[in-house]
Amino acid sequence: MAGVDHLATERSKARFDVEEMKVVWAGSRHTLELSDRISRLVASDPAFRKDNRAMLSRKDLFKNTLRKATYAWKRIIELRLSEEEASKLRFYVDEPAFTDLHWGMFVPAIKGQGTEEQQQKWLPLAYKMQIIGCYAQTELGHGSNVQGLETTATFDPQTDEFIIHSPTLTSSKWWPGGLGKVSTHAIVYGRLITAGQDYGVHGFIVQLRSLDDHLPLPGITVGDIGMKFGSGAYNTMDNGVLRFDHVRIPRDQMLMRVSQVTREGKFVQSNVPRQLVYGTMVYVRQTIVADASCALSRAVCIATRYSAVRRQFGSQNGGVETQVIDYKTQQSRLFPLLASAYAFRFVGEWLKWLYTDVTQRLQANDFSTLPEAHACTAGLKSLTTTATADGIEECRKLCGGHGYLCSSGLPELFAVYVPACTYEGDNIVLLLQVARFLMKTVSQLGSGKQPVGTTAYMGRVEHLMQCRSTVQKADDWLKPSVILEAFEARSTRMSVARAQNLAKFANPEEGFLELSADLVEAAVAHCQLIVVSKFIEKLQQDIPGKGVKEQLENLCNIYALFILHKHVGDFLSTGCITPKQASLANDQLRSLYSQVRPNAIALVDAFNYTDHYLGSVLGRYDGNVYPKLYEEAWKDPLNDSVVPDGYGEYIRPLLKQQLHNARL
């Protein structure tokens, strides 16, 4: 049935203006228009087809990615796309490629850490893609502990060069995307040694391959590290291994914005503050939080649409069965993920603002908010990526057996997304950084130094340590002030309790290691408070469109009360709420699920994803799932022949009891 919308009835139930919600999700009318135009451009171009990725061999998959990335660049030039449009095009092509690292890490590193002269030399080449760069920091033996990197960069004053060297097996660069087969250049991080002294880890621009025949330059061993988790997925990327055998580079290829080595080999700090590097980190982590909302919303869109299409049980007298989305067990798993997608979207928007604010302050030599901004972005990167990876997998389960098919789009989405829990900071290591910052904040509370930014609530420590929730009936839990106070009290009490336990140790470092699991819990509580408070702040803005704000209020309350329900032990054990109040929160949550139910399909339509971008038979806009699943099955290479390859050698001898004829 071509052109029939099987979800039309669902869409007609919506109690809000979907077009206005699309603007809220996109962030502005401009972004919505741009995203819509570019996503349709990609979807309508057969060159960007991606439904066969899971069936390709690694070599074919990789070559296909090279073709797409190069074709995308050709289109960017032909259509004279702006930087914003080009970045959206790469986003909607939806395939990890060397270009991600070139634009996302190599170019920003030169912009952030290179001098004016270095930027003038390297950026024009990078912008035209006359060189292709990657970011070679992680090694076989060290990832999170950047200070433990072993690659060396030793200055030779005789020739005015650095000698880049891999002294051990574990010093091999390992994991950088784009490195394995494509990059011509890399920002290589290594220990700067001059006049026999080690000055710690610095960045260097190193050419890896000839610009004529792409062969590795003398002294360089480079290749791909092998297949990764999942089919298709991140295997489109050439994550690489790289070793140096005394490779010489000119002195001016050290990134010298923050520190330099002079012609004589003297190490000097420039007048540019070291803290600028943190600005780049805040930026990268802000984009990761924004990506989390995109990945989670995709999974939620697929699971929500399929839950409305799928019917199971509940048939009365031969009538239709019940839509799966009408079961409370489905709603209580799905709707909190829908709410989380919106919550992460808004905290991502706020982080964009924070990045701008931090950058302006850094330029004015104001570093006062930096430790807090750093801790906050680290924590939110950890919280959102963990929740998103878990959420995508939950969405797969919400789709039952069919969710396990590659054509559902969910296995590949999960496999592509899950490394985000590790790259740019392992999620547990990041939470420990947040915990350190919280312990420092608590220790300074008595000194009159007021906590800033997202820790400002700790300034009301006396009140928060003894306040009691005023909730008496279920709908009291809909008051933002009630929710905020419960979350602030939980976070404050958990942090203070950890600090008190730490104080019992003679050696604070020993205490930190011993209590690290408890400290991580306090960090999570603080980060969840940030997400809740930023969602509430978003709702204080003027949000136009019939019923739009009301739906967002429901989602905000679902997010907050779901977290409260999930971590009810924290709230009860710290005495923020009573068991009765916890029970009322649960009653309110159930009632909120019923309010979201008629709007669920429209709320995922507001993400405005094309079927091409979703890449899911289950998540199709028109809900025409079953005929398409059937059609998709026949495309598998196994179905190219009716009798399988191998019948003559193995199956026939087995059936005919002639195993001596089998080619074993």
What would the DSSP string read from start to end of 43-71?
A: HT-GGG--TTGGGS-HHHHHHHHHHHHHH
Name the residue with tokens 């604010």.
357
Give the closest residue to 537 by CA, choosing from 523, 558, 552: 552
What is the C-alpha separation between 84 and 662, in angstroms, rounded? 61
Do 547 and 461 meet the contact criterion of CB atoms below 8 Å apart?
Answer: no
Strand 247-250 with 161-165, pairing: antiparallel
Q: Residue for token digits 């919308």?
A: 5
Question: Is 223 among the annotated ligand-binding positions?
Answer: no
Q: Which helix (H) or strand (E) holds 247?
A: strand 247-250
19 included as an active-site residue: no
The CA-CA-CA angle for residues 325, 22, 382, to 5°, reads 75
The single residue listed with the structure tokens 């026939």 is: 652
CA distances from 275 to 207, 259, 359, 635 (A): 28, 12, 10, 54
Whether the Cβ atoms of residue 413 and residue 292 lie closer than 8 Å to each other: no
d(CA 486, CA 493): 11
Tally helices (H) and strands (E) across the chain: 24, 11
134 touches 183 (CB < 8 A) = yes
Helices (H), 543-599: 548-566, 568-573, 579-596
When computed from its CA atoms, the radius of gyration of the chain, rounded to whole angstroms, is 27
- 3-state SS, residue 343: helix
Contacts of 503 (CB under 8 A, 6+ apart): none
Q: Is residue 177 a known part of a binding site?
A: yes
Q: Which is the catalytic residue, given 85, 161, 424, 514?
A: 424
Residues catalogued as catalytic: 424
Annotated binding residues for FAD, written as ranges, equal: 138, 177
Which residues sit in the known binding site?
A: 138, 177
